[in-house]
Structure 1
Amino acid sequence: MEKQLKILKALSHPLRVEIIYALKDQKSKCVCELEKLKEVTSQSSLSQHLKILRDANLVKTEKIGGWVHYSIKNPNIFEILEKIREI
């Protein structure tokens, strides 16, 4: 149950849900690309939100050159988000 609560907590912030949808195309994105999201106020706050998503196993990282790229770890998250929308 702890894993489920961690995922739900990670999805409880609008910016984190927005990040998940920004990664929906399954292409990895660096922080500089994610900074363009409308809810982002600073790179440090974006990094904190990405860490929460990473800790909940919702996103994975890959180092490409000097940049860390983020992508969805399990695309089933979109089915879960759709089910929540239907409730």
Structure 2
Amino acid sequence: MNADDVSVRIFKALGHPVRLQIVKFLLVEPQCVCVLNQLFDYSQANLSQHLKILREAGILDSQKIGVEMHYRVKLKGIEKLIAAMDLTVAEYFNTIDF
């Protein structure tokens, strides 16, 4: 796997609105899956699938604490990537004619 493959894998993982929201939420602080389950109005199975994709892309890390699974953002560069995307989106909206 080369650098381009990893880049595509990360962008694909962040390319779903739910996964992007999950990562933005976890950038603030690590959380228990139970908190994520309450915050996002999705079934446990659906949320678990999104978390699995983010873990497999190397974006998230998980740790079992007691009976609870906790998630955190593993790649610190993700915060800068999302900030750059937010700036790009703002630029996009400033350049289109309504």
User: Unaligned stretches of 5+ in structure 2?
Assistant: 89-98
Higher RCO structure, 1 or 2 (CA under 8 Å, sep 6+): 1
Per residue, is there more helix in 1 or in 2?
2
User: Unaligned stretches of 5+ in structure 1?
Assistant: none
Identity %: 39
> Is the 2:63–2:70 contact (alpha carbons within 8 Å) kept by the matching residues of 1?
yes
- Length-normalised TM-score, structure 2: 0.80
Secondary structure at 1:35's aligned position in 2? helix
Number of positions where the alignment pairs a residue of Structure 1 with one of Structure 2: 85
Larger Rg: 2
1:15 aligns with 2:22: no
- Length-normalised TM-score, structure 1: 0.89
Residue number in structure 1 paired with 2:70: 69
User: After the TM superposition, which parts of structure 1 deviate over 6 Å for at least 4 consecutive aligned residues?
Assistant: none
Distance across 2 between alignment mates of 1:50 and 1:70:
9
